[in-house]
A = this chain, B = another copy of it.
Amino acid sequence: MADGVQFPAVRVSCQRCDVRGRAICADCAPAELEELDRIKLYRRFAAGEMIAWAGERMPMIGSVIEGVASLSSTLPDGRRQTVGLMLPSDFLGRPGRDRAGYDVQAATEVTFCMFRAQEFERLLERSPRLSHRLLEMKLDELDVAREWMVLLGRKTARERIASLLVMFGEREAGARDGTSGTIRFPLRITREAMADYLGVTIETVSRQLSQLRREGLIRLLESRGVEISDFAALRREAGGPE
């Protein structure tokens, strides 16, 4: 695990935490929360910084508080595929394993709430609420991973881009279905990160975004912003259940 040298550790009370209520600690009783509070540590990582390397020891596990971290695998010849985007409240690391299964990289600046793996595991054994919550979260991750398998295995480049925009848009605007108004939000991640996640090249990402722009489905704003005037129309381009 890299030292976040340029970003010193910070202490924030769990009560005031942004993801309290939807992170691993969501169901904790006050006593459990207190225990977590005692062994936790906030740390920040700069955009692009590695948080862990596949196969290396990873003594710290924990929750993403803010920002986006990517999990990715690299083939021997350098081809890379992102297999998960960790967003605020997601739990990073596998209790019971002391080595990272993937490269973990901060895609944006990331604030991370860390626990020493061993201490956390001990707490996990004593707390059914905590382990039940972990199970639920990992089952959700499994569903997301499988949904992404459909995208990677069967969708066209155009549909992949549209799917990503829809996913971000829903997160951003709380835009469940009847999103009639105009949505505008920052993509946050680079074209390369998008390409790695979508299983295409950065050129294809760029071309498809331009194509959607030319067709009036989206507008590209500065500093990686996008504007979607007709969210339902974009969703139709995403090629289904999403």
Interface presence of A233 (CB below 8 A): no
With A132-B131, A135-B135 given, is the CB distance from A83 to B241 under 8 Å?
Answer: no
Residues of B within 8 A of A102 (CB): 146
Residues of B within 8 A of A149 (CB): 81, 83, 145, 148-149, 152
Residues of B within 8 A of A141 (CB): 142
Interface contact A77-B240, CB-CB below 8 Å: yes
Interface presence of A207 (CB below 8 A): no
Q: How large is the interface on A (under 10, 10 to 19, 20 to 34, 35 or more residues)?
A: 35 or more
| Docked CA distance A141–B143 (Å) | 11
Cross-chain contact of A152 among B77, B80, B152, B240 (Cβ < 8 A): B152
Interface contact A81-B154, CB-CB below 8 Å: yes
| Docked CA distance A155–B76 (Å) | 12
Q: Which A residues from 137 to 168 make CB contacts under 8 A with B?
A: 138-139, 141-143, 145-150, 152-155
Q: Which A positions have Cβ atoms within 8 angstroms of B?
A: 71, 73, 75-77, 79-81, 83-84, 94, 96, 101-102, 125, 128, 131-132, 134-136, 138-139, 141-143, 145-150, 152-155, 198-199, 239-241
